[in-house]
Chains A and B, each alone.
Chain A
Amino acid sequence: MKSSSNDDLNRPRLSVVVPLYNEEGSVERLVQAVQEALGPKQDWELVLVDDGSRDSTVARARSAVAQDSRVRLVRLARNYGQTPAMQAGFASARGNVIVTMDGDLQNDPADIPRLVARLDEGYDLVAGYRERRQDVWLTRRFPSMIANWLIRKATGVPIRDNGCSLKAFRRPVVERLHLYSDLHRFIPAVAAATAGARITEMPVRHHARRFGQSKYGLSRIAKVMADLMVIVMIRSFRGRPLHLFAGAALVALLFSLAALVAEVIAVAAFRPVKAEALVFPSVAIVWFGLAVYLLILGLMAEGAVRRYGRRVAGEIPLAREAA
Chain B
Amino acid sequence: MKPSGVSVIIPLHERCDPLGPLYKEYLDPLRAAGLDPEFLFVAAPSHAAQANEADVLRKSGEPVRVLRLAQPTGPAMLTRVGAIEAKNDLLLVLPAYRRIEAQYLPGLVERVHQGADAAFAARVGRREPLSNRARRWLFHSLARPVTRNRFHDLGCGVAALRRDALLETPIYGDFFRFLPTLMQREGFEVVELPAQQHPGDVGVRFYGPAAYLRAAVDLLGSYFLARFTERPLRFFGLIGLLLGGIGAILLVILLVQRIGGVGIANRPALLLGTLFLALGIQSIALGLVAEIIVHLSAPTRRPYRLARLDSADSNDSPG
Please list the residues of chain A having a beta carbon within 8 angstroms of any beta carbon in chain B: 1-3, 7, 47, 50, 52, 62, 65-66, 72-78, 80, 83-85, 87-88, 90-92, 94, 178-182, 223, 226-227, 229-230, 233-234, 237-238, 241, 244-245, 248, 252, 262-263, 266, 270, 274, 276-277, 279-280, 282-283, 286-287, 289-290, 293-294, 297, 300-301, 304-305, 307-309, 311-314
Contact of A290 (CB < 8 Å), options: B237, B282, B303? B282
A2 to B317, CA, bound (A): 11
Please list the residues of chain B having a beta carbon within 8 angstroms of any beta carbon in chain A: 184, 186-188, 230-231, 233-234, 237, 264-268, 270-271, 274-275, 278, 281-282, 285-286, 288-289, 291-300, 302-308, 310, 312-315, 317-319
* A300 contacts B266, C-beta separation under 8 Å: no
A187 to B69, CA, bound (A): 47
* A74 contacts B317, C-beta separation under 8 Å: yes
Contacts of B268 in A (CB 8 A): 276, 279
Q: Can you offer 27 A-B residue contacts whose CB atoms are under 8 A?
A: A1-B318, A3-B318, A72-B314, A72-B317, A75-B313, A77-B308, A78-B305, A91-B302, A91-B318, A92-B315, A92-B318, A92-B319, A94-B318, A252-B278, A262-B265, A274-B266, A276-B266, A277-B266, A279-B267, A280-B265, A283-B274, A286-B271, A286-B278, A297-B285, A297-B286, A308-B297, A309-B296
* A286 contacts B288, C-beta separation under 8 Å: no
Contact of A304 (CB < 8 Å), options: B289, B305, B319? B289
A75 to B307, CA, bound (A): 5
A76 to B314, CA, bound (A): 11
Given the known interface contacts A226-B231, A230-B291, the answer about A308 and B312 at a Cβ–Cβ threshold of 8 Å is no
- Binding site of A, secondary structure by majority: helix, strand, loop or mixed? helix
What is the chain B residue whose CB lies nearest that of A302? B292
A304 to B291, CA, bound (A): 11
Which residue, of A62, A94, A180, A227, has the highest number of chain B Cβ atoms within 10 A? Answer: A180
Contacts of B264 in A (CB 8 A): 279
What is the chain B residue whose CB lies nearest that of A259? B274
What is the chain A residue whose CB lies nearest that of B297? A308
Given the known interface contacts A76-B304, A77-B186, A234-B295, the answer about A226 and B310 at a Cβ–Cβ threshold of 8 Å is no
Q: What are the 7 tightest A-B residue pairs by CB atom distance, in nearest-first order?
A: A77-B187, A91-B319, A276-B266, A308-B296, A72-B314, A75-B307, A178-B298
